Structure 1
């Protein structure tokens, strides 16, 4: 749990009491490569912190597997559209390498907001950063070439090629594996 609180510290300080309250609503999950952390049609009620490993959010469109996002060690992943609306998600979360995950019960977390305003502030800041990341991703698709998006991804996560199959990287970038191979060959 030390790692998750170091991550939280990047956004907002927590009192020892708030840390203890969060610890009580968490559980540690060990999950193997290629397993689903959340399945399609699942209503998200959990926020996950990746202590060790890699995950992706993905969906199918016209029978094609498309990666929406990746999450690496020391990062949060959740189906927020489902979490906040209570509707089942049309997307799933898949583990890409053997992982250790901290699962935070979101229903209980949201109840802590009234007792611990610092917890509410913490998660507001985390979700704000995630929202900005989503906007930046959309703008990247709108305004940058596939090569520029690839270079940005490699810059942000230099080890991604060791952790993630090329087919998932290509779908994340919105290109074919052949196009990705051409981009990589230029390097």
Structure 2
């Protein structure tokens, strides 16, 4: 049986790669099972691994003025990493925490980057992944700048309909850039 089938289906939906590239990637991947509440990467850690969420849920978070702020949710069939740390080699001011018991597939970035010269289709695949992540980040910033909290909440529910069953309200509120009281008010009006 082939390992990491979900990961390679995910990759195929972004940019198909050759059988040799798949085998090369498969050799560097590793599986990791971690319980809810654990940090996959703690604040101050230098990110050297890209994670694919096979099962479970993770979030990127940071602290501002003593408040725990959620920046991103990563559900099944998505990638999570601290890109600013991954590319600069500097420690991240953000952490990655698991919100559910999770099974992840890790891709060590030094090994991945070494494959770029041997397999240009891998390089193109990850260029497209990082481009999409950049666009998603810009869209998130623009959402915070130009949309009301209610609009952001409705958009979040439309893109992640089972979010309320899986994520504590305090994390949803901080992701939306509002207090839990404001989130309760919005939820009561909808």
Give the TM-score normalised by structure 2.
0.98
Cα distance in 2 for partners of 1:4, 1:170 equals 30
Q: CA deviation at 1:27?
A: 0.5
Cα distance in 2 for partners of 1:140, 1:43 equals 28
State how 1:141-180 maps to structure 2 within 5 Å: 141-180=144-183
Cα distance in 2 for partners of 1:26, 1:163 equals 27
Cα distance in 2 for partners of 1:132, 1:143 equals 16
Runs of 4+ in 1 over 3 A off after TM superposition: none
Query: Quick one: which of 73, 76, 85 aligns to 2:76?
Result: 73
Match of 1:105 in 2: 108
Aligned pairs, number = 187
Residues 1:50 and 2:53 aligned together: yes
Query: Quick one: which of 117, 125, 139 aligns to 2:120?
Result: 117
Aligned-residue RMSD, C-alpha: 0.5
Structure 1: give runs of 5+ residues left out of the alignment.
none
Match of 1:35 in 2: 38
SS in 2 for 1:97: coil
Structure 2: give runs of 5+ residues left out of the alignment.
none
Residues 1:10 and 2:13 aligned together: yes
Residues 1:132 and 2:135 aligned together: yes
